[in-house]
């Protein structure tokens, strides 16, 4: 029985499903999942509160938050530095910072493709927030990011199943750029893959549009126009991702990797009527 603990500080697109991806039909034996989250906020109080899940004694932890270099996530890492813990975030984008993470014993998957939301009161309300997350998830799921996360977590889980623990667990150190993610998507048709790659690049770029709107702009018209443009780009990226998957459906070549109920082995299938093997 592998025990996996998820700590969610604030929200990324991937936060929505990260605790689900290893057991998609909720029937996988030999795996136990617990999640502790702090909702939207990720300050020092929230960081301190995450200590709670440590008592559970998971075989390994996954800590997901925006901007892993921010004070909250940094404080939370202090708590988890002596247990196996994988940091999943949209940054740090600097190599030195990532090397420091690795040196401190953490695994990491830095997804520059998890898009920064247009978090301004003038634009974002709960509906727009949820709708944007839907678009983000369409790209993350279809274009390889969900599978990359799932495969990497499954690898560590397999090590646990094999009896490894603590420092013997080899944690991933991955910068999930568009070119890397798309290879995990399993597209058979090359144009579907190209569409998926373009969608990832667009998701990547959303941050470049929304960042100044979130942190620098003040004027209402500029703020709302810019964040709206960022969300339109995310919408367009989702649409490209949908197109890409439709091509694979049209060719009956959707690559699927469900987990076996017993043991959680990854099975594969591509034709819809085919049994997973």
Nearer to its own copies, 103 or 127 (CB): 127
Question: How far is residue 162 from each of residues 43, 146, 173, 242, 265, measured CA to CA in Å?
Answer: 37, 24, 21, 38, 13
Range in contact with its own copies (rule: CB under 8 A) among 75-83, 84-92, 165-173, 245-253: 245-253
Compute the 3-state secondary structure of the chain and give helix, strand, coil in percent, each to the nearest 5: 50, 15, 40
Q: Binding segment for its own copies among 87-95, 104-112, 169-177, 189-197 (CB under 8 A)? A: 189-197
Between CA 254 and CA 189 the distance in angstroms is 10
Site stretch for its own copies (CB under 8 A), options 83-91, 100-108, 163-171, 184-192: 184-192
User: Using CB under 8 A, which of 74, 99, 100, 130 touches its own copies?
Assistant: 130
Residue 1 touches its own copies, criterion: CB under 8 A: no
* Site for its own copies contains 190 (CB under 8 A): yes
Residue from 41, 44, 94, 167 touching its own copies (CB under 8 A): that is 41
Binding mask 95-124 for its own copies (x = CB under 8 A): ------------------------xxxxxx
Start-to-end CA span in the chain (Å): 23
Q: How far is the CB of 63 from its own copies (least distance, A)?
A: 14
x/- site string to its own copies, residues 207 to 226, per CB under 8 A? --x----------xx--xxx
Interface residue with its own copies among 52, 102, 162, 168 (CB under 8 A) is: 52
The least distance separating its own copies from the CB of residue 90, rounded to whole angstroms, comes to: 14
3 is a contact residue toward its own copies (CB under 8 A)? no
Q: Is there binding between residue 48 and its own copies (CB under 8 A)?
A: no
141 near its own copies, rule: CB under 8 A: yes
Q: By the 8 A CB rule, do 237 and 135 touch?
A: yes
Q: E-strand spans in the chain?
A: 2-8, 31-37, 60-64, 85-89, 107-110, 173-175
For 175-186, give one letter per residue: b (16+ CB within 10 A) or e.
ebebebbbebbb
**Over the range 143-161, which residues count as b (16 or more CB within 10 Å of their CB) and which as e?**
bbbbbbbbbbbbebbebbb
């Amino acid at each position: 029985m592998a025990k996996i603990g998820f700590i969610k500080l604030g929200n990324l697109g991937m936060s929505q499903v990260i605790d689900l991806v290893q057991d998609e039909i909720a029937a996988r034996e030999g795996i136990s999942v617990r999640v502790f989250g702090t909702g939207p906020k990720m300050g020092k109080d929230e960081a301190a509160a995450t200590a709670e899940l440590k008592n559970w004694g998971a075989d390994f932890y996954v800590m997901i938050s925006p901007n892993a270099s921010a004070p909250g996530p940094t404080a939370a890492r202090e708590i988890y530095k002596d247990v196996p813990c994988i940091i999943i975030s949209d940054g740090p984008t600097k190599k030195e910072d990532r090397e420091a993470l690795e040196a401190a014993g953490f695994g990491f998957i830095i997804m520059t493709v998890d898009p920064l939301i247009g978090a301004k009161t003038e634009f974002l309300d709960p509906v727009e927030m949820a709708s944007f997350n839907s678009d983000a998830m369409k790209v993350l799921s279809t274009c390889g990011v969900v599978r990359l996360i799932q495969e990497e977590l499954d690898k560590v889980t397999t090590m646990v199943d094999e009896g490894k623990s603590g420092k013997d667990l080899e944690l991933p150190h991955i910068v999930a750029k568009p070119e890397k993610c798309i290879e995990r998507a399993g597209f058979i048709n090359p144009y579907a893959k190209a569409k998926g790659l373009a969608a990832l690049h667009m998701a990547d770029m959303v941050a470049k549009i929304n960042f100044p709107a979130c942190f620098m702009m003040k004027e209402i018209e500029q703020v709302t126009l810019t964040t709206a443009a960022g969300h339109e780009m995310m919408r367009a990226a989702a649409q490209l991702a949908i197109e890409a998957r439709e091509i694979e459906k049209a060719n009956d070549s959707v690559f699927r990797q469900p987990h076996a109920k017993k043991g959680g082995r990854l099975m594969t299938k591509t034709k819809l009527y085919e049994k997973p093997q």
